[in-house]
Amino acid sequence: MNEVKKAIVEKKGNVGSIFFTAGFPKLDDTQEILLKLQASGVDFVEVGMPYSDPMADGPTIQESSSVALDNGMNLSLLFDQLLGIKDQIHIPLVLMGYFNQVLKFGVDEFLEKAQACGVQTLILPDLPMIEYQNIYKEKFAKYGISNVFLITPQTSKERIKLIDQMSDSFIYVVASASITGTTGDPVKQQESYFQRIAKMNLKSPQVIGFGISNSEGFQRANRFLDGAIIGSAYIKSLSVDGVRGTEDFVASIMS
């Protein structure tokens, strides 16, 4: 079983994941951040691959990507950092970015290096499902890597069922059809949407992301589905408190 799916299934609810951008705030912070997130009790971590032209990221994560790229972060260095800490990290890691990055790097080389780092799960919002199904699914499977698909309040029931069939890890339930870092409380605004997803009895775990920034939003998300992902709020914490504030931040959200 995919490690992320196993972690979600075994915990049976109240799953918490943190997203951060590799190379932010400093180029060499990746390993320390991962160790602190693991020590904080996070169930799995999304490692953002900084990209110059993101399609789903709000201003906070976009800015962190710009800083990371200016710092000199690239995929080769990220893989070196992940490989160097592989034996110390025991929670699942997810790489999140864009398929254009993978294509430029080389699909086989990317998947091979991800596998070597112990990564079993990718989130690539710009990889069309039909293209994945017809061209890349077997290649991903060769390296033991699963792709995560996103759904929004506008995703049809038929497409959600197809995504469920195609998923080996989890389904990323976007709390709104907006970008990351959405203001307000999208979880509260979309309760009927989450209830609809929960009633579908999908085989794949469902984790909510986009706009979850505090304990109340985290707890509400977990009342409906299997877990929640926090991204922009943690990036803001890194900007203010640095890596040293990680454990306090996670405790303020997940405790």
46 is catalytic: yes
Q: From residue 164, give the alpha-carbon distance in Å to each of 41, 54, 113.
A: 28, 25, 27
Burial of residue 71 (number of CB atoms within 10 Å: 0-12, 13-18, 19+): middle
Within 10 angstroms of residue 147's Cβ, the number of other Cβ atoms is 21
The active-site residue, picked from 46, 109, 158, 247, is 46
Residue 190, token pair as written in the block: 């979309």
The active-site residue, picked from 3, 29, 57, 168, is 57
109 is catalytic: no
Alpha helices in the chain (DSSP H): 3-11, 30-39, 59-71, 75-85, 99-105, 107-116, 129-131, 137-142, 157-166, 186-189, 191-199, 215-224, 232-241, 246-254
* CA 183/CA 214 separation, integer angstroms: 12
Backbone φ and ψ for 174, nearest 5 degrees, come out as: -75, 125
List residues with catalytic annotation: 46, 57
